[in-house]
Each structure stands twice: as C-alpha cells, then as structure tokens.
Amino acid sequence: MVRAEHWDAAYIEHGIDGVSWHEPVPETSLQLIEALGVEPAEPVVDAGGGGSSLADELVARGFADVTVLDLSAAALEAT
C-alpha cells in the first residue's frame, strides 16, 4: 500500500472525526502558534493538516492566508 492509500483508507474507514488523532479543537497547535507570535497577516501552512480544524480556527481568529497541505485526497475532500 502506498503512503497516500494508507492515509486515505484511515479517513474513509473512520471519517475525519473518527480517526484516533482527531481533536475537536487543536489547542496545543493554537497555543504554539500564539506563543511564537505568528500574526494573522502572516501566511500559515498546515503541513499534513488532514481533517484538522486548525485552518478553520485560524480563519476564525483573523488569519487570512491559510493553506492546508496533505497527501490524502480523502481527508481534503471531507474537510
């Protein structure tokens, strides 16, 4: 199984909010971004973002340039 198929299979089988790593709100990531002093005007790339709500949470906080990069088409389509 190639890597993308592995991740696709997990998201298809469990759904984006049913995978073991899902967090309703990615609090630690948000705290780290705040601690680093990243400003809402700065671009942010969520590498391996999958079905995370991090991008939504950042947009809700005024970030306007947020990109989600992931090799799982299933995750990106569901998100």
Ligand X SMILES: C[S@@+](CC[C@H](N)C(=O)[O-])C[C@H]1O[C@@H](n2cnc3c(N)ncnc32)[C@H](O)[C@@H]1O
What residue ranges bind ligand X (CB under 6 A)?
Answer: 3, 7, 21-22, 48-52, 69-72, 75
Write b or e for each residue in 26-58: b if 16 or more Cβ atoms lie within 10 A of its Cβ, otherwise e. beebeeebeeeeeeeeeebebeebbbbbbbebb
**Residue 47 CB, nearest approach to ligand X (Å):** 6
Which of 20, 57, 51 has its CA nearest to residue 68?
A: 51
Q: How far is the CB of 8 from ligand X (least distance, A)?
A: 8
Beta carbon nearer to ligand X, 51 or 63: 51
**Residue placing its CB nearer to ligand X in the complex, 16 or 41:** 16
